[in-house]
Structure 1
Amino acid sequence: MGCVGNALWFLFGGLIMGLSWVLAGVLWCITIVGIPIGTQCFKFASLAFFPFGKEVVYGGGVGSLLLNILWMIFSGILLAVEAALIGCLFCITIIGIPFGMQCFKLAKLALMPFGASVR
């Protein structure tokens, strides 16, 4: 299911969500201070392109909390709202529920990307 799910995901929503993460990363990389945040965006863009078969593990400390607050103010809320709305659209049908669940996983990640790792 992982390979087929990723292929279908990329065609029906993953391309848009992945490009959103890439755009956020490019905008953060314009400034020198934002380069670490931009590189984190690029890491999670690959997850947004192909999320099936991958798990997000959350952790971190005070530094992650401060970066998450800064991220949420400037980029996180927009990406989370986008993922949640697309997830709700997918969950309208029974067939789309697995895709909607991936969207909700990305919405949570969009709110708290620092301190998270993908396995």
Structure 2
Amino acid sequence: MAEIIPLPTKASRPSRQPEPLWREALGDRLRGIRHDRGERLADTAERAGVSPQYLSEIERGLKEPSSEMIAAVAGALEVTLIDLTAAVVDDLRARTAEPAAVGSRAMLSLAA
């Protein structure tokens, strides 16, 4: 007869948190900037040319906004896309306990 080998259970597997989604980190950062400025959702949305409901969904990470929408909201908050993107990347790095999957050498080769 064949030997029965038990499969690993969930308890024996290392627990790994899923990586946060870009849209969630972006939304958190946009909400933080808006709150730091003391602005209401409706005021920022109006300047960005989006509905308050849509901006709320972006801030809660429920919508995957287009680059045009991100630029409009960033402009309404007087933040450059470069600064916003860098801040979101920093937030994602801070949330991720594991080292980046792509090392600096691989990043340089991707850029070439």
TM-score of Structure 1 vs Structure 2, range by shorter chain: 0.3 to 0.5
Q: How does the TM-score come out when normalised to structure 1?
A: 0.33
Larger Cα Rg: Structure 1 or Structure 2?
A: 2
Q: What's the TM-score once normalised by structure 2's chain length? A: 0.34
Bigger helix share:
1
